[in-house]
Amino acid sequence: MRKWNRHHVTISICLLFIVVLVGWSMIFNLSDGKIPNTYILYDDEANIIGDAPFPPSADFPFGTDREGDHLFYKVLEGAQYTIGAAIGISLLSFLLSFVIGVLGGFTKSRAKKWTQSIFTSFYFIPQSIIAYNMLYPLLWEPRQGFETSFTERVIWQSIALAVIMAPTTAILLSNETRQILDKEFVTCARVLGGSKSFQLKKHVLPHLKPRLFIIFPKIMIQALLIIAHLGFFELYFGGTDVCYGPMCPPPQPFVQEWASIMSMSFVELTNAWWIFMIPMFFFALTILSLTGIARGLEKLLEEDEVKGVRDIDEKAERREKNPLVESDFRLIDREL
């Protein structure tokens, strides 16, 4: 049984944070889902001693916003939508990238060079800008109102973001697949008649699988950042509720996910800093947790590779000290 080390502990803590946060958010939303509110604070004699927003204190550990909503529960409500959206978009993008990347690794043609050149451009063009231009007609409410439902907008937004994120990951997987196919043992299998499906099943997937577990948290980070950028552009997840009449409030989200909370509270940074910093704190912790998972998996993979090389060297050293002799072989008579 493999012994645990600090990388296992890091991965476990980071994963536990995300699972507990999402699970707690789902339980909270499936129950009453009511955010505690304290707009005016009274003392024992019913005298007013303060009004919202309240800064972080013993009574309000994470403070309240200007409407008196407790920020921790507000963030807890949005965790399900923010992290859930990132997981869904990342899964879709991951599957799309895997199919394109592996097929690209097996393909040798001129079209592949053109395709790879186009995909490489996504490394240099900000994906948030592409997403904003693609999703603005879908998410920004027109004057006559939305013609699509909230569910339809979420589905189309998820598909669009997955497609935008797929090219960079597909290039990475294509290069990894190509490197595996260029190894000597795969070349031998190909010479001996191994089909592409055999090479994929017996050689590519076993070697590519550890890398896939490292890539997925990075895709989630990418999805979270794009959602956050769109939020600051006032394109909220699932659509932006826009009022065109006189004395209208600013654009509002349909669900209280973290990007919309941070976007609407950014102006409070110099007045009531905690209104912006509390959701930003949980957003940063989620990013750090995903980074910790990816880094921990990378270190474990490096340790496995080093251990494999060390085992090979030890076997070679033992073989040099104890070379094969004639007595190591035994003639077997077989009757035909």
The model's pLDDT over 58-67, given as tens digits with 9 standing for 90+, comes to 888 899 998 8
Check if the beta carbon of residue 275 is closer than 8 Å to that of residue 53.
Answer: yes
Identify the CA nearest to 38 among candidates 77, 70, 75.
Answer: 70
The answer to whether residue 313 scores a pLDDT higher than 90 is: no
Q: What does the domain layout of the chain look like in residue ranges? A: 6-35+70-305, 39-69
Residue 264's SS3 state is: helix
- List residues bridging with 70 in a β-sheet: 64
Closest CA to 147 of 155, 156, 138: 138
Collapsing DSSP to helix, strand or coil, 46 comes out as coil
Mean pLDDT, rounded, of the chain: 84
Q: Tell me the pLDDT tens digit for each residue of 161-172.
A: 999 999 888 888
pLDDT digit string (tens) for 138-156?
999 998 889 999 999 999 9
Where does 6-35+70-305 sit in CATH, by number? Answer: 1.10.3720.10
* 301/307 Cα distance (integer angstroms): 10
For residues 80 and 22, the answer to whether their CB atoms sit within 8 Å is yes
Q: Which two tokens stand for residue 176?
A: 């990894």
**Cα-flanking dihedrals φ and ψ of residue 224, to 5°?**
-60, -40
DSSP 37: B
Which spans in 237-272 are helix H? 258-265
Please determine, for residue 322, whether its predicted confidence score (pLDDT) is greater than 70: no
